[in-house]
Amino acid sequence: MISLSIEGMSCDKCAAHIKDTLEAIVGVNSAEVQFSTSSAEVDAISGISTNMIIDTITSIGYSAKDGSLRSKESKKIAAQNDEQLHVVIIGSGSGAFACAIKAADGGARVTIIEGAEVIGGCCVNVGCVPSKILIRAAQLAQQQRNNPFDGLENHSPVLNRAILTQQQTARVEELRAAKYQNILESNSALSLVRGYARFKNANTLIVAKPDGSEQEIRADRILIATGSTPSTPPINGLLGTPFWSSTEALFANETPDRLVVIGSSVVALEIAQAYNRLGSKVTILARHTLLYSEDPQLGEALTTSLENEGVTVLNNTQASNVSHDGKEFSLETNSGSLQSNQLLISTGRHANTGGLHLEAAGVSTSRNGEILVNERMETNVENIYAVGDCSNMPQFVYVAAAAGSRAGINMTGGDAKLDLSTMPAVIFTDPQVATVGLTEAQAKQRGINTDSRVLDMENVPRALANFETDGFIKLVIDADTKRILGAQILAHEGGEIIQSAALAIRNEMTVDDIADQLFPYLTMVEGLKLCAQTFGKDVSQLSCCAG
């Protein structure tokens, strides 16, 4: 029997591919390949060498080592590990891996526990990456259908959703391998245990493994990074229907003729517009108004943009009953009855903490199950930390990664804090919504004497050159000091503008500082300078590139 350690597998399909390849070799009786343990056992006749098996695996894009050698290395490492700080991380997303890398850099050995079939968490697998691919494809389809230039003829795009989904999935698998699997395999301080963890006490976890067995793991430090799951609203009849969550919507092989979206925040709006551009007739049901928690001008202007594209937005509308007859959905709402081929539920997410038995460790949570942490990512229990969507932190992947990195530093003797006062946020609709800092209402609630200006994008030369003038830039300042407090932007490529505003706020710049800066002409970010200038002059009376 030839035992091998295999690197480069990202899922069970990889294991099946290797198994089929090995069993096709003349002289190999059978092969068992396990993705969960990154190993293979090959039963072959005496003429088949280990090197030949390894060469065959290498030829199809993976790498392999003699498993017996790995066993010797493992025993040596185990002896060394007895003296090392042991960090255990529940979850394998961005926050988890950022923590793992930092903890390993700090001298710890790290065990990552993951129960899902693939590592990488939400962002790379079912969130940021696949959604942005879908959004970009839909944007290109829309540009073919309706472009702003007189000399370019519009035409209906030819769409094959199944092929698009295949390409989308391939890129997801590529990034998961590069940013997660390869890191796990190349860093000897990191190891992966497959299964679902629960607390036995504040220092011990019990892992329910795929084969039905349980493993007890003791840790010096524990990070909880279990993410979140889409929430399902309590609508009568909904649970008996084949509705979509965002995951099904992102990876569908067909585009429905009519799509109803229940939800009015980030994910709902991004997917709703994408499907409208891919050819669906989309209706959005908003419990209040679009982007209800943001500056009202953002939701109002985005509603206008979406409606101009053909999206129906029903504000202050809720569904009371949902049914499905095998072909269509029927919804009863306070705005009347609706029918659709598909229904997307995107009303937020809830923390994945229900199965952790946090009470056994004494970890405090909010009423919604979110783990409460401080600016050092510490829970109320010494040596237990939490980051990402399972905590009371903003649900953004870059926040989770930044928090994970700092948690890893703190676990190994450092003192790192996460300042979220200048956290930028982007909603990838088109035009994009981008925000940072305080809104005018938030600043006034803090007793700050404010002033603000709104610059319509038709005053930004690059927007004019692009024939894309939807939206505006708004700056909120302290009226007494002229320091910039916040920025709210609705603009095509608005996400590329917001970081400059974030840096300005972080460095306590005034609108005069921004107005005096050199900004390249023709760029969208020049709109920040122009908006800053409106606090002291009428920019419509300035020449191009006016300093």
Read off the CATH number of the domain in which 433 is found. 3.30.390.30
| Four-point Cα dihedral 241, 244, 248, 249, nearest 10 | 140
Residues 406 and 429 both lie in one domain: no
User: What angle (nearest 5°) sits at the alpha carbon of residue 64, between those of residues 58 and 65?
Assistant: 140
Count how many domains the chain has.
4
Residues 190 and 335 both lie in one domain: no
CATH number at residue 225: 3.50.50.60
Token duo for residue 316: 């202050």
Prediction pTM value: 0.83
Token duo for residue 288: 């209040």
User: Is 137 within a domain?
Assistant: no
- In the predicted model, what is the mean pLDDT of residues 197-224? 97
CATH number at residue 53: 3.30.70.100
Distances (CA, A) of 270 to 249, 327, 496: 11, 25, 17
User: Is 517 within a domain?
Assistant: yes
Residues 255 and 336 both lie in one domain: yes
Residues 222 and 358 both lie in one domain: yes
Res 36: pLDDT? 62
User: Is 303 within a domain?
Assistant: yes
Instruction: Work out the percent of the chain whose per-residue pLDDT is above 70.
Output: 95
DSSP summary character for residue 374: -
Residues 222 and 105 both lie in one domain: yes
User: Is 454 within a domain?
Assistant: yes
Give 9-45 pLDDT, tens digit per residue: 766 777 888 988 888 887 788 999 987 677 889 988 8
Residues 372 and 454 both lie in one domain: no
Inform me whether the pLDDT recorded for 69 exceeds 70.
no
Give 235-289 pLDDT, tens digit per residue: 999 999 999 999 999 999 999 999 999 999 999 999 999 999 999 999 999 999 9
Q: Which of 322, 347, 372 is the last residue of a domain?
A: 347
Give 413-470 pLDDT, tens digit per residue: 999 999 999 999 999 999 999 999 999 999 999 999 999 999 999 999 999 999 999 9
**CB neighbourhood size of 252 (10 A):** 18
Q: Quickly state the pLDDT bin for 68 (edges 50, 70, 90).
A: low
Residues 181 and 10 sit within 8 Å (Cβ to Cβ)? yes
Buried b (16+ CB within 10 A) or exposed e, 104-118: bebebbbbbbbbeeb
How many CA atoms within 13 Å lie on the side-chain side of 177? 14
Beta bridge partners of residue 113, listed in sequence order: 90, 193
Give 389-423 pLDDT, tens digit per residue: 999 999 999 999 999 999 999 999 999 999 999 99
Residues 64 and 92 both lie in one domain: no
CA-wise closest residue to 94 among 396, 495, 496, 410: 396
Q: Which of 292, 326, 347 is the last residue of a domain?
A: 347
Distance CA 392, CA 7 (A): 36
Res 14: pLDDT? 77
Containing structural domain, residue 459: 425-541
DSSP summary character for residue 278: H
What is the pairing mode between strands 39-44 and 28-34?
antiparallel
Distance CA 384, CA 364 (A): 11
| Four-point Cα dihedral 231, 233, 234, 238, nearest 10 | -100
Distance CA 93, CA 2 (A): 33
Residues 334 and 355 both lie in one domain: no
Distances (CA, A) of 506 to 153, 434, 502, 528: 45, 16, 6, 15
CA-wise closest residue to 438 among 401, 536, 447: 447
Inform me whether the pLDDT recorded for 102 exceeds 60.
yes
Residues 114 and 206 both lie in one domain: yes
Res 10: pLDDT? 65
DSSP summary character for residue 234: -
Active site residues: 9, 11, 14, 62, 123, 128, 544-545
Q: Which of 298, 321, 347 is the last residue of a domain?
A: 347
User: Is 139 within a domain?
Assistant: no
Inform me whether the pLDDT recorded for 205 exceeds 60.
yes
Does 431 sit behind a cis peptide bond, omega within 30 degrees of 0 on the bond before it? yes
User: Is 404 within a domain?
Assistant: yes
Residues 197 and 300 both lie in one domain: no
Res 72: pLDDT? 45
Give 484-542 pLDDT, tens digit per residue: 999 999 999 999 999 999 999 999 999 999 999 999 999 999 999 999 999 998 887 77
Residues 89 and 213 both lie in one domain: yes
- In the predicted model, what is the mean pLDDT of residues 370-377? 98
User: Is 417 within a domain?
Assistant: no
Q: Quickly state the pLDDT bin for 371 (edges 50, 70, 90).
A: very high
Residues 493 and 432 both lie in one domain: yes
Res 65: pLDDT? 81
Distance CA 381, CA 418 (A): 19
Beta bridge partners of residue 70, listed in sequence order: none
User: Is 128 within a domain?
Assistant: no
